[in-house]
A and B are shown apart, each in its own frame.
Chain A
Amino acid sequence: AQSVTQPDIHITVSEGASLELRCNYSYGATPYLFWYVQSPGQGLQLLLKYFSGDTLVQGIKGFEAEFKRSQSSFNLRKPSVHWSDAAEYFCAVGAPHYKLSFGAGTTVTVRA
Chain B
Amino acid sequence: DSGVTQTPKHLITATGQRVTLRCSPRSGDLSVYWYQQSLDQGLQFLIQYYNGEERAKGNILERFSAQQFPDLHSELNLSSLELGDSALYFCASSVDRDGDTQYFGPGTRLTVL
Interface residues of A (CB under 8 A from B): 36, 41-46, 49, 51, 90, 92, 94, 96-105
Q: B90 contacts which of A41, A44, A98 (Cβ < 8 Å)?
A: A44
B residues 25-59 in Cβ contact with A at 8 Å: 31, 33, 35, 42-45, 48, 55-56, 58
B63 to chain A: closest CB distance in Å? 21
CA distance A104 to B37 in the complex (A): 10
Contact A43 B107 (CB under 8 A): yes
B contact residues around A98 at 8 Å (CB)? 31, 33, 48, 55-56, 94, 97-100, 102
Classify chain B: how many residues form its interface, as a range: 20 to 34
B4: interface (CB < 8 Å): yes
B55 to chain A: closest CB distance in Å? 8
**Known contacts A98-B48, A99-B45; is-contact A43 B4 (Cβ 8 Å):** yes
Count A-B pairs with CB separation below 8 Å. Answer: 60
**Known contacts A97-B100, A98-B97, A98-B99; is-contact A43 B56 (Cβ 8 Å):** no
CA distance A99 to B50 in the complex (A): 13
**Known contacts A44-B90, A97-B98, A99-B56; is-contact A104 B42 (Cβ 8 Å):** yes
CA distance A102 to B41 in the complex (A): 10
Proximity bits, B90-109, A CB within 8 Å = 1, else 0: 10101001111111111100
**Known contacts A98-B33, A98-B56, A98-B97; is-contact A46 B45 (Cβ 8 Å):** no
Which residue of chain A is the closest to B42 with respect to CB atoms?
A104
Q: Which 3 A-B pairs have the closest CB atoms?
A: A98-B99, A43-B104, A102-B43
Contact B90 A43 (CB under 8 A): yes
CA distance A49 to B102 in the complex (A): 11
B contact residues around A96 at 8 Å (CB)? 56, 98
Query: What are 11 A-B residue pairs whose CB atoms fall within 8 Å in the complex?
Result: A36-B104, A43-B92, A43-B105, A45-B2, A46-B101, A90-B43, A98-B102, A99-B45, A100-B35, A100-B43, A102-B44
B39 to chain A: closest CB distance in Å? 10
For the complex with contacts A92-B43, A96-B98, A97-B98, 13 further pairs of A-B residues with Cβ separation under 8 Å are A43-B92, A43-B104, A44-B104, A45-B2, A46-B101, A49-B100, A96-B56, A98-B31, A98-B97, A99-B56, A100-B43, A102-B42, A103-B42
